[in-house]
């Protein structure tokens, strides 16, 4: 009886893998408007991480220069960084003239921000026309005029989920590409098991089953180092209090330095019907992090690590997400 059950489980697994591969082959035949992204690596406290962020090649209006911007679905608004953008505003008055004089409070975190209006933004040649983009004045790395005129792409900003509202966003992690569609391809409707997510300020919160309890996690592509990132208090949902620390990371994000500690996840975690791989939960002992999770009614954030071998489909129109 045990052998038969084991054989049945193996057959189910083989069928599921074959089913997903068949769907991916059919997706290739659709010739979707893919945009490539680039993994950016960095050293943090002497350790090198090869997937710290996802950068997309971009063009701005008709400027004859190449730029990149980070794909950050945990942000709220798409922005240009003021420091690296400064020499281009000097060179191109037409771009500077698109910048409103009024400040918008809270546009980027707790900071006020001016807004560029009627920007034509190209994500790896795919156009997003006549859109507003924030000007995060005191952020980014300053560059000289000579450097600005060189052929090396400059990291200029953040691509946030405001660009994708009312659309379908597909992130193909293995092939390092994404696309934005107006309608869901039929093959995806047929082959993908979707779950419904909540959304606030454009950011999505995915229901995961942790052990036997369903809780929401923010999906944040800007959180590239972690399967799960949470406050120290909420780490109890994922692991035992006595579980030893197996890792620690020191880094910085949006001007803030953080140190997080990793413990092995001891609970089964499911996304819809699919069980996620064993991993580590990283926690931050910070009141602000716990306050953010309480305000958003989440118990943490899930980043890219869980999905690196997956194709993720986010339907902003119908508030559902699935993966192959």
Q: Which domain holds residue 184?
A: 168-323
**Is 210 found in the same domain as 146?**
no
* Domain end among 110, 133, 163: 163
**Is 314 found in the same domain as 179?**
yes
- Domain-located, residue 319: yes
* CB distance 202 to 165 below 8 Å: yes
- Domain-located, residue 70: yes
Give me the percent of the chain exceeding a pLDDT of 90: 78
- Domain-located, residue 215: yes
Asked whether residue 261 carries a pLDDT value surpassing 60, the answer given is: yes
Asked whether residue 2 carries a pLDDT value surpassing 80, the answer given is: no
Q: Which two tokens stand for residue 248?
A: 């620690």
- Domain-located, residue 26: no
Over residues 141-166, mean pLDDT = 97
Cα 58 from Cα 154, distance rounded (Å) = 10
- pLDDT confidence band for 9 (50 / 70 / 90): very low
* Domain end among 128, 147, 163: 163
Please list the alpha-helical segments (H only) found in the chain: 2-28, 82-91, 93-96, 145-148, 186-191, 287-296
- pLDDT confidence band for 43 (50 / 70 / 90): confident
Cα 20 from Cα 37, distance rounded (Å) = 23
Over residues 83-109, mean pLDDT = 93
Lowest mean pLDDT, pick from 19-28, 127-136, 192-201, 228-237: 19-28
Find tokens 């409070």 and name the residue: 105
**Is 46 found in the same domain as 153?**
yes
Q: Which of 120, 123, 122, 146 is nearest to 54 (CA)?
A: 123
Over residues 218-237, mean pLDDT = 94
Question: CA geometry: angle at 212 spanning 211 and 216, to 5°?
Answer: 80
Asked whether residue 322 carries a pLDDT value surpassing 70, the answer given is: yes
Q: What pLDDT sits at residue 254?
A: 56
CATH number at residue 193: 2.40.70.10
Asked whether residue 84 carries a pLDDT value surpassing 70, the answer given is: yes
**Is 213 found in the same domain as 285?**
yes
**Is 318 found in the same domain as 172?**
yes
Q: What's the number of CA atoms in the CB half-sphere (13 Å) around residue 111?
A: 17
Count how many domains the chain has.
2
pLDDT tens, position by position, 112-143: 899 999 999 999 999 999 999 999 999 999 99
CATH number at residue 44: 2.40.70
pLDDT tens, position by position, 266-305: 999 999 999 999 999 999 998 999 999 999 999 999 999 9
- Domain-located, residue 259: yes
**Is 197 found in the same domain as 144?**
no
DSSP state of 163: G
**Is 172 found in the same domain as 133?**
no
């Amino acid at each position: 009886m045990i052998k038969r059950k084991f054989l049945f489980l193996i057959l189910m697994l083989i069928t599921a893998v074959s089913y997903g591969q068949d769907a991916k082959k059919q997706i290739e035949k659709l010739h979707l408007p893919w945009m490539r992204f680039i993994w950016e690596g960095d050293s943090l406290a002497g350790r090198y991480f090869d997937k710290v962020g996802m950068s997309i090649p971009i063009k701005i209006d008709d400027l004859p220069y190449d730029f990149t911007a980070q794909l950050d679905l945990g942000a709220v608004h798409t922005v240009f960084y003021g420091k690296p953008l400064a020499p281009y505003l000097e060179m191109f008055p037409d771009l500077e003239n698109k910048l409103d004089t009024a400040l918008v409070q809270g546009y980027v975190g707790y900071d006020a921000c001016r807004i560029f209006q009627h920007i034509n933004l190209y994500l790896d040649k795919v156009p997003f026309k006549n859109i507003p983009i924030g000007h995060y004045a005191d952020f980014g790395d300053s560059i000289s005029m000579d450097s600005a005129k060189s052929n090396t792409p400059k990291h200029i900003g953040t691509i946030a989920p405001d660009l994708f509202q009312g659309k379908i966003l597909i992130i193909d992690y293995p092939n390092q590409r994404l696309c934005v569609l107006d309608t869901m391809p039929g093959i995806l409707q047929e082959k993908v098991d979707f779950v419904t997510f909540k959304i606030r300020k454009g950011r999505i919160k995915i229901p995961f089953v942790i052990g036997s309890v369903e809780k929401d996690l923010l999906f944040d592509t800007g959180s590239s180092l972690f399967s799960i990132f949470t406050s120290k208090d909420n780490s109890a949902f994922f692991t035992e209090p006595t579980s030893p620390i197996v890792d620690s990371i020191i880094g910085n994000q949006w001007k803030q330095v953080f140190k997080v500690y990793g413990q092995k996840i001891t609970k089964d975690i499911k996304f819809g019907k699919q069980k996620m791989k064993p991993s580590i939960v990283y926690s931050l002992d910070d009141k602000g992090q716990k306050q953010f999770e309480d305000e958003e009614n989440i118990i943490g954030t899930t980043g890219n690590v869980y999905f690196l071998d997956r194709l993720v489909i986010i339907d902003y129109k119908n508030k559902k997400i699935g993966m192959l």
